[in-house]
Structure 1
């Protein structure tokens, strides 16, 4: 059975954070040519729009260390235009960037070591191989080279910049969520996380949406991102990004997809925003969240909209998202309440360890909620 691209990349990601021997074994298993192909596909997803006004050819050579072969690619970069990729090294490349395959795999998908120097070779054109670049071209050569180097760097821009780049509404449109996400997700940024986001965007247009998924893929350079939507969005499938089709209000479907693709480190509900759907998804998917992970619910404002199943009169209505969050505060403190003899804690009582609620967004942390509660010998009423 041929492994899927997702499985191949996950194998390289795991090895990139392991020993040199493990990395070599992973490259051997995937195959050096295939590993280089996957690396190039990853680079395509990370390239920013070029800023160099003059067209510049940048050669990228990936040397298959120990195999006596290499993968050569020429990128043509011009301000405002998508990068053009062509096989082979063009004879008039103004600059070449050379990587050993294992170094490139570790650079793309390994832990961020807070340094990139010493992992690549830069070869500027000289009078011996092509016309020496004029002073006018040199700033464009520097900018084009930087565009490629930035794509190779595991350290991505902050989430606000990534949201703007990929067209996600999590920053600067109708929401201002990215600082909250950055605060909670930063410790996971260097980990090979699995992320499920409900809601791809773009509605029935098969080619639209996916901005937030692409943002997460760049932010978590070792992560695998899954997007769930009612509509067919499979056209957005790509490296480390897989679209799943399903109904977020169907517990059986959610359980099945989570068993196949989970468990997840992060689950984000940015789907229909219908209160019933959000509650159904949370009940079905929270058990498939890993300890230490986050379940995020966006767009809490629909809790107050009757059209979404909300209630703008009864602020204690239990069927809304806000009602769910209020009940979860009690679950978080279940050890402080008397419990019927023999009754077991619920899923959220046993494993909800933290809640952080901001304007229109809530972060729920999973762990083991069993600190023991306040001892019974503590007074249950003041004695003054």
Structure 2
């Protein structure tokens, strides 16, 4: 089993019984499972604030077996795994978890209670220099809090995560995360698959801030990013950077067939109006029913250099023109006269279009509502006690 497959399977075990977790450990081995969990913990941890280095031994037990990982924490440095206890480090702490408890802490429901499911060995050795006791106690407490911040499914809101990881979706050129919070909340506890077109950073920088934001927000999610440039150095547990051209529909369909279907697709790519349309047509079939397709930066519909239309009314081949077409598709059953050809996928499966300043959310489902029966003529309406539109206009004019 690959590391990527193990990470994906673990996202499903947050609500699994102990027997299924035990079967996974038997199949994979405790060391590999713990390594995947530690990798997830380190990604979620807050930045260390302790000024004096602290080594924490994280011990994870399963049955009669225990695996131990020693982590070094110090302000201004990334948390790192070290080989073992270092006698030169004065401050050491041990935290012990049962494997099943740690799995549920990471991948279980957001609001589950987890008090009392770990053992803490605080300062196992008496410090030689008691004049440093206050600093030692403070640093130990802070480092323990940092580690526990990573042992939870809870996360800040998207606004705070956007700032933390450097995404431009909040408090920059855009104010998108408030709308993302509104539409994404119902997916947050699910093992979702997300594809974002456009990783950022252009050719000279890896980018990836939004991908990390999605990974932290969706604690059970698998996150994929697509970029024209190779950003595979960003790859980590639950996050994969793919290389491809969003203007190539064949490549998009092949990508989606391999890594989809997706619960959420976000287009934050080139913002070229043609690319937006090509990507939507290629990828919308690979969005699961109940999922969302998001289009960012609709302003380029009005910018000719991106293939947009200057002036107050956009052309049909722009991003906004696409959304207008989808609104017509939702109302396919109301067309008069009724079309003879079969419904298109968007006429059958688009059930909502929510548009805000420069961002839109397209809902996928079953657009199965029918129209008023064709035989409901004026005579039938009168039989129900209604008046015809013409009679209504005449009555209004007489008042």
Whether the TM-score (by the shorter chain) exceeds 0.5 is yes
**Aligned equivalents of 1:39 and 1:281: distance in 2?**
35
Instruction: Return the alpha-carbon distance in structure 2 between the equivalents of residues 116 and 131 of structure 1.
Output: 36
Native 8 Å contact 2:308 2:314 kept in 1: no
Where does 1:246-285 land on structure 2 (aligned, <5 Å)? 246-285=244-283
Instruction: Report deviation, 1:129.
Output: 9.3
Q: Which residue is equivalent to 2:165?
A: 166
Residue 177 of structure 1: how far off its partner (Å): 0.7
The separation in 2 between residues aligned to 1:308 and 1:352, in whole angstroms, is 26
Correspondent of 2:229 among 218, 228, 231: 231
Secondary structure at the counterpart of residue 368 of structure 1: coil
Label 1:314 to 1:174 Cα distance change in 2 as closer, same or farther (>3 A): closer
Q: Distance in 2 between matches of 1:144 and 1:383?
A: 77
Match in the other structure for 1:365: 363
What stretches of structure 2 of length at least 5 have no aligned partner?
Answer: 382-387, 393-399
How many angstroms does 1:135 deviate by? Answer: 2.4
Match of 1:381 in 2: 389
Q: How far apart, CA to CA, are the structure 2 residues paired with 1:327 and 1:231?
A: 32
Query: 1:141 maps to what in 2?
Result: 140
Under a length normalisation based on structure 1, what TM-score does the superposition of the two structures give? Answer: 0.93
1:124 to 122, 125, 146: 122
Summarize the alignment of residues 192-203 of structure 1 with structure 2, pairs less than 5 Å apart.
192-203=191-202
Q: How many residues in Structure 1 have an aligned counterpart in Structure 2?
A: 379
SS in 2 for 1:293: strand
> Do the aligned partners of residues 114 and 32 (structure 1) sit closer, same or farther apart at CA in structure 2, a change above 3 Å counting?
same
Tell me if the contact between 1:351 and 1:368 (Cα under 8 Å) persists in the aligned partners.
Answer: yes
Match of 1:71 in 2: 67
Listed one character per residue, the Cα deviations across residues 60-97 of structure 1 (whole Å, up to 9, x for unaligned) are 1112x12x332212222222221132133556543221
Whole-Å separation in 1 of the counterparts to 2:128 and 2:106: 31
Q: Which stretch shows the higher mean deviation, 362-371 or 140-149?
A: 140-149
By percentage of residues, which structure has more helix? 2
1:265 and 1:292 in contact (8 A); partners too: yes
Deviations 1:248-293 (A, max 9, x none): 0111111111011100000000000000000000000001000111
Distance 1:131 1:368 in 2: 70
Number of the residue aligned with 2:174: 175
Larger Rg: 2
* Structure 1 segment 1-384 matched on structure 2, within 5 A: 3-63=1-61, 65-66=62-63, 68-90=64-86, 92-127=90-125, 134-205=133-204, 207-313=205-311, 315-338=313-336, 340=338, 342-376=340-374, 377=376, 379=381, 381=389, 383-384=391-392
Unaligned segments of structure 1, at least 5 residues: none
Cα 1:210–1:339, aligned 2, differ >3 Å: closer, same or farther?
farther
